[in-house]
Amino acid sequence: MRTLRPPAGFTLIEMLVVVFIIGIIAAGVLLSVSITGTDHELQTESERLATLMNYAREQAEIQTRELGLACSANGYAFYAFDPRTALWDNITEDDALHARTLPAGLTLRLNVEGHDIVFKPPNKEDPKKPDIMIFSNGDLSAFELTVVRDDAVRTVKLAVDDKGHIATIAPPEKPT
């Protein structure tokens, strides 16, 4: 007489169910990290803008000329002052300081010397004028430039730090 032995190991169906459950859990963890984690695009653009502003400040000192940063809701451009024409113009000799557009979903907010700046739609007839002055002696306008994610939950603020460099300032922690 033959005795039936219990099967050794797992069936294919059982293995597939376990793999499926692990996949669902991994997807949930990945989505929760990207929702509540850092916004890499926001951080990258903020750091790029801070670096470019510091670079423009150094160039203004080296070249002893006035530079400026003009902002719009979705981008920014660096300008140089031409004392012969008394006008601001695009910087063409330095590829690093060309006009830039922010990625979709990011916008700028600007406060200069305690006043919020309202960005107007570009008008080709208006003369170019910077919002933030970068003087040839290294001084600049007092400002707070904020890069904002469209949901307005994530922001990065740029301002002059204690050492005199333009840096990203982390937003205050929200109480839990």
Radius of gyration of the chain (CA): 26
Fold assignment, 40-169: minor pseudopilin epsh fold (3.55.40)
Mention every residue, 6+ apart, whose C-beta is less than 8 A from residue 56: 67, 69, 78, 97, 134
Are 62 and 5 in contact, with CB atoms under 8 Å apart? no
pLDDT on residue 9: 77
pLDDT on residue 130: 92
pLDDT on residue 35: 57
pLDDT on residue 172: 52
In the chain, domain spans: 40-169
Q: Which residues of the chain have pLDDT under 70?
A: 1-3, 5-7, 32-38, 170-176
pLDDT on residue 28: 82
pTM here? 0.72
pLDDT on residue 175: 47
Give me the sign of the Cα torsion angle 19, 21, 27, 29.
negative
